[in-house]
Amino acid sequence: MATDDNAATPKPKPLDALRAKLREEGHSESATEQILINRASGSSWPQAQATGVGVGVGGQGVLAGVLANLGALLAHARNALPALLLDFKNTFDRSAAPSARGKALGSLLVKLAIVGVLGYAVKQEFLQHIIYGPQTAAEQVKLTTFQAEQAAAAVTNTEEDAENCAKSGANKAVIPMTH
């Protein structure tokens, strides 16, 4: 029985060819891995950094926070749009069976509800982090300042009470009352 040499050697994959090309360009193994990961995720930041092009010129990189959620919502809505249009058309198609029209209406309502709920969540996150974030931080600074002033006043009052006790000749230790 003859052995087949072609079966023993693996076929080169497009990813292997891309790795070889990146190595020839002088990228290290870790930089190559990062470039491949970012190409798969749609980010171009390490590529722009490696080529000397300004960051953000070739793409915006990976989004975070509110923008990531907004991007996910828009992607979900964009992907659902053809199905929404088909369900809308089938809902009002008088030649379709009533069960098909009902099924299309139910599907349309569920998809619109999902997009609506996700949109509301993104709106709330936007309000919390972008609109009210600076106000919340300013209020937190005011609260911390007030608490520090109260603590300083309590220490000053305790020292004054101790001095008054020493002047009056009282032998009892002053224990400040806490609320």
Q: What is the pLDDT of residues 78-107, one digit of tens each?
A: 888 888 899 999 999 999 999 999 999 999
The range of the structural domain enclosing residue 36 comes to 15-47
102 occurs within a structural domain: yes
- Give the tokens for residue 117: 């709920």
Q: Would you say 90 and 96 are in contact if contact means Cβ atoms under 8 Å apart?
A: yes
| Residues 75 and 120 placed together within one structural domain of the fold | yes
pLDDT for the residue 157? 74
| Residues 128 and 71 placed together within one structural domain of the fold | yes
Number of domains the chain is built from: 2
Please compute, for residue 86, the number of CA atoms within 13 A of its CA located in the half-sphere on the CB side.
8
| Residues 41 and 70 placed together within one structural domain of the fold | no
103 occurs within a structural domain: yes
Number of H helices, E strands in the chain: 7, 0
87 occurs within a structural domain: yes
151 occurs within a structural domain: no
Q: What is the pLDDT of residues 23-35, one digit of tens each?
A: 888 888 888 888 8
100 occurs within a structural domain: yes
175 occurs within a structural domain: no
